Chain A
């Protein structure tokens, strides 16, 4: 039992395992960089306040990964309403997010665990 528990995870949060604020900030910066050079995604962000997006996404990821942050942005449904994001574009966004994690040297298993926390929000994001 002790072995199993030790193996499953320590009492470190996913946020800590990722490398805390430094790594999350790097992922977010890389993600914004990916969006900049992606025609499909950039179209959605053309009117956005990128500094706000950066700070809210940092908070949101910290919160999802059980880090010591409160999310002060709007709900996923409020933010993405009216964008009518298709399933294909959502999944494309996930591809870019994976590229952002790759470039931040996040190990594959940690990437999956973070994605697992993020994707349940999909129903509050697409086709709104």
Chain B
């Protein structure tokens, strides 16, 4: 048995190896199963593509921290959204995120900037290992830097707003013919119009409303996930703001990097109907 011969050598290397490897463990967070850390959604929180999930965005387990960065672009008929985000995950418990969104009205030379600070706290559970879903609460504080368009379309507040959400997420090992399945359900209290790009509140409604958001997916291997998402949205401005949905495919070659391609169906935005298009997101774990 090779292990027995190796043992003397290993003992000689002794605690030094152990100490170094323990440090490695603490920093290069890899304490979750591949593809179970999820992605980063369009407002910078760990999630799917458009829905924040209960998962904490990095591969940190409860003794680890991790940090990640994301770029996302959604290109629909009349608009283009770019998002740059970064997040810090602490002990698979707390997620801090910052994101900048730039919303471009194609051909009009209008560029609306919004900054978002996110905070998420895991209340209960482990998305893979517990019988019950993992449950987290979170908030997204949004600061609209360019509020002119929001003001023009009748937003009551064109400078800032905060969304609050509770999310439940679960991975079921081998659930569908042996393939792993994941689902998420989120309830979000919000006043935001088109995520805040068109301000907060409006002539039709100026109160917080609870919106439901959901995702479901299947992992065809440890590196490939396919699924869909739905996000209910308010219509505070009376412009026919639609619910969003997307169909996504994610490629997760390693714990350091993933790539998501989706078909986004965003419906009517600012009165312009039929806003469908491609969603592309790159997400990397820095440590």
Contacts and interface: CB of A to CB of B under 8 A. Distances in A.
Interface of A: 7, 32, 35-36, 39-40, 42-43, 45-46, 50-51, 86-89, 91-92, 94-95, 98, 107-110, 112-113, 115-116, 119-120, 122
A119 B173 contact: yes
Contact of A119 (B4, B11, B128): B128
Nearest to B21: A39
A50 B10 CA distance: 15
Interface residues of B, number: 37
Given A87-B31, A92-B31, A122-B129, 15 more contacts: A43-B18, A46-B7, A86-B31, A87-B63, A88-B62, A91-B32, A91-B33, A98-B222, A108-B221, A109-B177, A113-B173, A113-B178, A116-B172, A119-B129, A119-B173
A42 B174 contact: no
B128 A39 contact: no
A46 B62 contact: no
A55 B285 CA distance: 39
Q: What are the 7 A-B residue pairs with the smallest beta carbon separation, nearest first?
A: A109-B178, A88-B31, A112-B174, A88-B61, A116-B173, A113-B174, A39-B21
B183 to A, nearest CB: 16
B108 interface: no
A110 B220 CA distance: 12
B61 A87 contact: yes
B3 A36 contact: yes
Contacts of B3: 32, 35-36, 45, 50
A108 B179 contact: yes
B30 interface: yes
Nearest to B25: A88
Contacts of A113: 173-174, 178
A51 B4 CA distance: 11
Contacts of B10: 42, 46
A109 B7 CA distance: 35
Contacts of B87: none
18 contacts: A36-B2, A36-B3, A43-B17, A46-B10, A87-B61, A88-B31, A88-B63, A89-B25, A94-B33, A95-B30, A108-B220, A109-B177, A113-B178, A115-B173, A115-B174, A119-B129, A119-B173, A120-B129
B33 to A, nearest CB: 6
Nearest to B15: A43
B92 to A, nearest CB: 8
A43 B21 contact: yes
B283 interface: no
A39 B18 contact: yes
B3 to A, nearest CB: 5
Contacts of A109: 174, 177-179
Contacts of A88: 25, 29-31, 61-64
B180 interface: yes
B152 interface: no
Interface in B115-157: 128-129, 131
A100 B242 CA distance: 48
Nearest to B64: A88
Given A88-B31, A92-B31, A119-B129, A112 B6 contact: no
B7 to A, nearest CB: 7
B25 A112 contact: no
Contacts of A43: 17-18, 21
B4 A92 contact: no
Nearest to A50: B3
Contacts of A32: 3
Given A43-B18, A87-B62, A94-B33, A112 B1 contact: no
Max chain B CB contacts within 10 Å: which of A87, A94, A113, A116? A87
